[in-house]
Amino acid sequence: MDITKLINANDPQEKNKSIIEIDNYICGLCKFGENLNALTEPQKNFFYNQELEREINNGGFSQYFFNSSGNYAHETVRSLKLIVANKTADILQKAIDQFPNKLVPKDRDERQKVLDQIGEESNAIWNGLDQKFYAYEDDLNTLNLEYVKQNISEFIEK
């Protein structure tokens, strides 16, 4: 992986390819989220942001919260703010707000039980938030690449 080449991509298609290549590298390091302790803090933040985007584009917020990606919903709000994706962070926070006490359970089984209780009412709200997410008011690829650039020493293969 030539990180320097990847973070300097200018064309939107090249940025997308760069994000995918860095994401594949990070996912390999942490065994696709099974061992986040293998990652540095900046790598975790990148991972959280990519997990959100992957899940929302695949099945919306209901899928995001249902799957293991929802384990890190609160951390993802913080990671989005770190890259200055404030509009996306606000969308995620509104999705989180549908949970009792605005707290997403870390435990997947517990979270899925809560989803069963709040599902119908929350799904209508989440569907609207999915559409806001798809508008991409924040350029997530550019913001994530800039974040990697700012933390390059944490992303260089060792």
Q: What is the DSSP letter of 100?
A: G
Q: Is the pLDDT of residue 7 over 90?
A: no
Mean per-residue pLDDT for 13-33? 91
Share of the chain above pLDDT 70, in %: 98
Produce one character per residue of 30-58: b if its CB has 16 or more CB atoms within 10 Å, e if not: beebeebeebeebbbbbbbbbbbbbbbee
Q: What angle do CA 76, 130, 28 make, to 5 degrees?
A: 45
Share of the chain above pLDDT 90, in %: 82
Mean per-residue pLDDT for 70-79? 97
Q: What is the pLDDT of residue 90?
A: 98
Mean per-residue pLDDT for 40-48? 97
Mean per-residue pLDDT for 79-107? 97
Q: Which domains does the chain have, with CATH numbers?
A: 3-154 (1.20.1420)
Q: Is the pTM of this model over 0.85?
A: yes
Q: Is the pLDDT of residue 22 over 70?
A: yes
Q: What is the pLDDT of residue 158?
A: 61
Q: Is the pLDDT of residue 48 over 90?
A: yes
Mean per-residue pLDDT for 19-29? 92
